[in-house]
Structure 1
Amino acid sequence: MKFKPMACVLVTSLLGFGMSAASAYAGVHEIRFDAEHKYTLSNSIAAGDMVEVCGDFQKGETIQWSYQAERALDFNIHFHVGKKVNFPAKLKQQNEATGKLKTKLQQTYCWMWTNTSKETTPLNLQLSLESGLQKRSTM
């Protein structure tokens, strides 16, 4: 499976969060793990905007994740099966969180933050691929 920005599906997801289609392309990033199987992102999210990172994962992989932001953000991890959006994680108004995702399907998984405040906020993300390494080469 190769990562492709899924604009029409992404717009559908964003509309559920009250976002416009125009902002759907502003903050989508492809996950590219380094040689140590880590991915980091430091970005700012404008007021009313979003940032999303997406990548292809095999069934049974485990990804450790954590993020920190100066302001509380809405956050989710999601993937699509047909027209259905599945949410392995969903948090409202948190400025930091940590967790593990064990993938149940070979799928494109996305981590997404929405800034509902009236101020831009910095976001720092760390992902670490912990299992499934034997099946995966560095992207």
Structure 2
Amino acid sequence: MKKLVISGLLLAGSTLPLQADNSASKHFVLVTTHQNDIGEICPEMNAGQTLSFDFKSNNEVEFNLHYHEGEKVNYPIEPHKVTSLKQSFEAPIKQTYCLMWKGLSEEAAKIKVNYSIFTPIKN
């Protein structure tokens, strides 16, 4: 099985201040995966940060959000088949979290991904 990993890849984006103590990094990425191949985007996040993401694919893919603790793989979002999804996730611990897509059809899946990482306002 081939594996494509996109770790913190920024194709087009910027850091925009939302409020005095709140900022978001916006990312726009195109992930392409073929049957039984996977593509991942793996941002590092601090506890309390929120990952907000949406994606659309031209073909159905198997998607999950996971992170590793030693040999154990944890799935805050279990693997499931979709062509699009819009969701947010708050990191419970400082960790590298991976958005992962597995191709399911012979035709390449072209997945347009938008994601932002928000840091909470500090009082």
Which of the five TM-score ranges fits, normalised by the shorter chain?
0.7 to 0.9
The structure with the greater share of residues assigned to strand is 2
> Which structure has the higher relative contact order (CA within 8 Å, separation 6+)?
2
Q: 2:44 aligns with which of 38, 45, 56?
A: 56
1:43 CA drift (Å): 2.8
Instruction: Give the secondary structure class of the aligned counterpart of 1:65.
Output: strand
Segment drifting more, 102-111 vs 27-36:
27-36
> Which residue number in structure 2 is paired with residue 13 of structure 1?
none
Query: In 2 relative to 1, CA 122–84 (structure 1 residues): closer, same or farther, beyond 3 Å?
Result: same
> Which residue number in structure 2 is paired with residue 28 of structure 1?
5
> Which residue number in structure 2 is paired with residue 66 of structure 1?
54
RMSD of Structure 2 on Structure 1 (CA):
1.7
Query: In 2 relative to 1, CA 29–133 (structure 1 residues): closer, same or farther, beyond 3 Å?
Result: farther
For 1:103 and 1:82, locate their aligned partners in 2 and report how far apart those are by CA, in whole Å: 18
For 1:68 and 1:38, locate their aligned partners in 2 and report how far apart those are by CA, in whole Å: 17
1:133 CA drift (Å): 7.3
Instruction: Give the secondary structure class of the aligned counterpart of 1:47.
Output: coil
Instruction: Give the secondary structure class of the aligned counterpart of 2:47.
Output: coil
The aligned runs of 1:115-134 (5 Å cut-off) are 115-132=103-120
Counting matched residue pairs gives 111
| Identity between Structure 1 and Structure 2 (%) | 23
TM-score between the two structures when normalised by the length of structure 1: 0.73
Unmatched tracts of structure 2, length 5 or more? 17-24
